[in-house]
Structure 1
Amino acid sequence: MIYILAGDIRTGKTTAVLNWANQRDDVDGWLCPDNENGKRCFLNVKSKVEYELEIESEVESTKVVSIGPFNFLRPAFKKANDYLISLTSENKRQYIIIDELGRLELNKEGLHTAAEDLIPKFLDEDTEHLILVVRNYLLDEIIEHYDISEYRILKKEDLKSLL
């Protein structure tokens, strides 16, 4: 089953998923919170280890992908994509989180590789669940881009109702 947690920018989507995941032992994937320096990082849901993602200024252009004023490390996205793809061969009956799908993914950057690989595997799945975090204004584009035919839209408060 695919769940799409949709909400506006900076309304606590990531925090809500983190709080929900912290109460469970069957959740894995990546969250993209702000770290103590106000920069986005990757947080492994299972291990709670943070990885640098957003940087202040461009380094080698081959190692950075930029969108608007934000600069992100390509190697961090590679690590996240590889990890997410590896999860489908592991534990069953779990939730996998991809936070978040946005403009980068629509441009086939960021977490696009994992989303493209995982979404078809979860379309008809009843025992494993994929939670995608998406901004409201990109919801229709993401659904169309990844051809997501079966899904359930969630609000933050709906997370508590997930089995």
Structure 2
Amino acid sequence: MMKEKKGQIYLFSRAIRTGKTTALYNWVQDRPGAAGILTPDVHNRRVIYDIATKRYHTFEVADSYGGEKITIGRFLFAKEAFARARDILAAAVAQHPAWLVIDEAGKLELEQGEGLEPAILNTVRSYQSGQQDGQLLIVVRDSLLPQAINRYGLQDAIVLSEHLP
């Protein structure tokens, strides 16, 4: 286990569909001070999991969904779900958790500045400026890792691909 320093930022990075979210879900169960969001698959649909409240929220929707949708690859997401996720992250940052987890900084955030933005950028800045005592862990697929490091100025982040801290 590595020594954690105040405001340390970690990037958890592996290829897509390699169990990043499942590993994190199991990992946060042993961290009562954790907050943030995970995006696990439940009944073959991606959902938002609020780590602090242990509540699930709609994220991936069917084509017949009546609200606004955002298409990312083969997935359709409720546009309002991104607002909910950003709100969960903002509330988590305000609580100064021991661990804040963001699953994930993906193409929508990195290439279009949408999705969980500007929440991710604001959260990173909060940690980089010393406003947070806890640790920040952001999930990024391996193919987007260089882009995430550059966009968020994370050259000093600890990159994890196997074991979580």
**8 Å Cα contact 2:96-2:134 kept in structure 1:** no
Aligned pairs for 1:60-139 within 5 A: 63-92=68-97, 94-106=98-110, 107-123=112-128, 125=130, 127-139=133-145
The aligned amino acid for 2:160 is L
Counterpart CA distance in 1 for 2:74 and 2:27 is: 30
**Aligned residue identity for 1:39:** R
User: Hey, what's the Cα distance between the residues in 1 that align with 2:64 and 2:73?
Assistant: 13
Following the alignment from structure 2 to structure 1, what is the Cα–Cα distance between the partners of residues 81 and 60? Answer: 9
1:34 is aligned, of 41, 49, 57, to: 41
Unaligned runs of 5+ in 2: 1-7
Identity level (%)? 32
The question of 1:52 aligning with 2:63 is answered: no
Cα 1:46–1:86, aligned 2, differ >3 Å: closer, same or farther?
closer
Match for residue 20 of structure 1?
27
Letter in 1 for 2:23: A
Instruction: Give the Cα separation in 1 of the matches to 2:138 and 2:63.
Output: 28
**Equivalent residue for 1:147?**
153
Cα distance in 1 for residues equivalent to 2:50 and 2:128: 24
Q: Aligned partners of 2:25 and 2:162: how far apart in 1?
A: 11
User: TM-score of the superposition, structure 2-length normalised?
Assistant: 0.87
Moved over 3 A (4+): 58-61
The 10-residue stretch of structure 1 (119-128 or 133-142) with the greater mean CA deviation from structure 2: 119-128
Report Cα offsets for 1:50-82 as digits up to 9, x if no partner. Answer: 111011216457x21112221111111101101
How many angstroms apart in 1 are the aligned matches of 2:120 and 2:141? Answer: 15
Aligned positions, number? 156
